[in-house]
A and B are shown apart, each in its own frame.
Chain A
Amino acid sequence: MGEAKARALEAIVKVAESLGAERLIRIEHAHISGVSYGTIGEPGRRFIEDLYLSGARVSVPTTVNPIGFDDADPANTGGILKVDKDFLEGQQAIIRALTGMGANPVLTCTPYKTRSFASLNLKPGSHVAWGESSAVAYANTVLGIWTNREGGPLALLASIAGRTYYYGVHIPENRIPSETYRVEIAPVDEVDAGVVAEILAETHDNDRPPLVEMGLPPEPYRDIVLREFSAALGAAGNISMAVIPGITPVETRGMRPGPAIEIEARLIISRRKDLAPGNPVDFIFLGCPHLAADDLKILDHYLNGKARIPIIATLSRDAYERAGDHIRRLQAKGVRFIRSTCLIVGQLKSRDYSIATNSYKAYFYLRRKVSSVGLLSLPALARLAVNP
C-alpha cells in the first residue's frame, strides 16, 4: 500500500474511532463535495493539493461536485456570477489536483444523472461515500444506494482509501424508519416538498429515517419533486435518508411505525405563503440541484413565450450536451445556461439581487447572501417569467 493511501486510511480510522464505528467497509464509488474555490478557499485548496502532491490516487470510481464557474467557458457568467483572476487560478489548481488523482470531473451535484455514473450500474444496497448532502438524501431515499452524509474531505479520503467507516445508514438496522409522517397535501409539488423537508428537519429527532407518506405527481415531474425534497432535507437539517413508500427500494410492508404524525395542509400552505416572492424579481434561478436533461423538456413545455425576467439555469456539461435541441430552444426564449457551477458555490456579482426559485435549498443558502429569495413551483416560475 502506498504511503498516501495509508495516511488516508489513518485519518478515516481516526474519524471511525471518534464515532465509535467498529470497522471500515469497502465502497464502490465516491462523490467529492467541497471543490469550489469560493466555498473552501485557500485552506481547502491546500488540503487537496497536498494530497495530490503526496502521491494520493483514487482507488474507486470517483465523481466531483460543481466548481465556481462554467469550466467550458469561464466568461459565461450569466451576467450574475463573478470570476476574478485569483479565483480562476485557485479553482483550476483544485481541479488539476482532483483530476490528477484520477477523479472524474463531472462537476455536478447530481452525479447520479450522468452517463458515466449510469455505466457503473450500481445496484441498490451498494455502499458508497458521498459528500453533497442533496445527493446523499437522494441516494438513500430514491436510488437505494447507501451513504452517510460524508464531509467533503472525508469523501476524498474515502475515495483514496476505497473505504469508509461502518456507521449510520451503512448499518441495515439504521435504515428502518422510526416514525411515520403523513402529508395532508397530495400531490405535492417541489415547493411543498421543500416545506415538508423543513418541517421534518425540525421535528424528526432520531438517527433512523422518517417514513414519509406523501402523494407525488406522476413522472417526469415526480423526480424534480424528489430531488428538491432530498436537497431540502440536506440543507434544513441533517437527515440522510427518508423512506417513501413506493419510491424507496426497501420492503416497507410491516415496518410502518404508527401512529402517523400529521403534517397538516394549513401548515404547509401558510409556510409557502411566507416563502413566496414578495418583491419584484431580478431573475429566476433553476438548477439547485442541477437540472437534468429531462427537466429541460419540462421547462420547454411550460415556458410558452419569451422570458421577460431572465432565467438562470445551472446544469452539468453532461446534461447540456444531451439536451441540445431543448437548450437551443430555451436559449431563444431567454434562458441563460451556466454549466458545472451553481449560485450556491459560485460567487455572485451583487448582494442586491431579488431572486425567485423552485429550490428550498437555494433559498436556504442564498437568503443570507442576497436581498431576497422567494419560492414558486416550476410552472409558476415559467408563467412569472413570461408575464411578470
Chain B
Amino acid sequence: MASYRLKPLVPGYAEGETVKVERLSFYGEVDPVKGELYDGRSIAGKILVIGRSRGSTVGSYIIYGLKYYGVEPKAIVMVKSEPIVVVGAVLAGIPLYEGLPREVFEKIRDGCTLRVRPTGEMELLECPTEG
C-alpha cells in the first residue's frame, strides 16, 4: 500500500474503485443524467481520476447535474485542477483533490481501490493485475 499527500480543494473522505481519464471536458464528455463518460464507462459511485481538465465553462453545471441525478463520483482526484471543476465540486459537495503525482497517475488503472482523507492523504490500496 502506497500513501501520498494531495491538496484538498474540497475536503471529504472517500474510498472506492477508480475510473481514469487523461483529459476531460465535463461538458460534452460526461452524461450528467446517466453518470457515464463518452466511452460508456460509469463514474457513478467511483473515484474519478483525471490528468487535466479541458473545455467548456458549462462543466461546472455538469458536475452539479451529476449530484442532482444521484450519479456523482465519490471523489475527483486530479493531477491538476482548475476553477471550472472547483466550482462544480463546491456546489455539488463532491470531494476534490489535486496534486496527484504524474508517475502515480500513470500507475493507476480502472478498478484500483483508492482512499482519500480530508487532510489530503491518499492511499492507493490495490490495483488489479495487468492482463
A positions within 8 Å CB-CB of B: 11, 14-15, 18-19, 33-34, 39-44, 46-47, 131-133, 136, 148-155, 165, 167-168, 201, 205, 234-238, 364-365, 368
Candidates B23, B54, B57, B87; contact of A132 at CB < 8 Å: B57
Complex-state Cα separation, A368 to B56, whole angstroms: 15
Q: In the bound complex, do residue B54 and residue A201 qualify as a contact, i.e. CB atoms below 8 Å apart? A: yes
Besides the known contacts A41-B33, A43-B65, A364-B55, 10 further A-B residue pairs in the complex with CB atoms under 8 A apart: A33-B56, A39-B27, A41-B32, A41-B65, A43-B68, A44-B61, A150-B83, A153-B87, A155-B57, A238-B55
Min Cβ gap B24→A in Å is 10
Label chain A's interface by main secondary structure.
Answer: helix
Min Cβ gap B42→A in Å is 17
Report if B91 contacts A (CB, 8 A): yes
Q: In the bound complex, do residue B87 and residue A154 qualify as a contact, i.e. CB atoms below 8 Å apart? A: yes
Q: In the bound complex, do residue B64 and residue A33 qualify as a contact, i.e. CB atoms below 8 Å apart? A: no
Min Cβ gap A6→B in Å is 17
Q: In the bound complex, do residue A47 and residue B87 qualify as a contact, i.e. CB atoms below 8 Å apart? A: no
From 66 to 117 in chain B, residues with beta carbon under 8 angstroms from any chain A beta carbon are 67-69, 82-91, 96
Candidates B9, B52, B53; contact of A19 at CB < 8 Å: B9
Complex-state Cα separation, A387 to B86, whole angstroms: 49
Chain B contact residue count (CB 8 A cutoff): 36
Cβ contacts A to B, 29 pairs, < 8 Å = A11-B91, A15-B87, A15-B90, A18-B10, A34-B58, A39-B27, A43-B64, A43-B67, A44-B61, A149-B57, A149-B82, A149-B84, A150-B83, A151-B59, A151-B86, A151-B87, A152-B57, A152-B61, A153-B64, A153-B87, A153-B88, A153-B91, A234-B56, A237-B23, A237-B54, A238-B52, A238-B53, A364-B55, A368-B28
Q: In the bound complex, do residue B54 and residue A236 qualify as a contact, i.e. CB atoms below 8 Å apart? A: yes
Report if B29 contacts A (CB, 8 A): yes
Report if B18 contacts A (CB, 8 A): no
Residue of B nearest to A45 (CB): B61
Complex-state Cα separation, A385 to B2, whole angstroms: 59
Complex-state Cα separation, A154 to B33, whole angstroms: 22
Q: In the bound complex, do residue B83 and residue A148 qualify as a contact, i.e. CB atoms below 8 Å apart? A: yes
Identify which of A152, A165, A167 gathers the most chain B CB atoms within 10 Å of its CB: A152
Residue of B nearest to A14 (CB): B90
Min Cβ gap A274→B in Å is 18
Q: In the bound complex, do residue A34 and residue B25 qualify as a contact, i.e. CB atoms below 8 Å apart? A: no
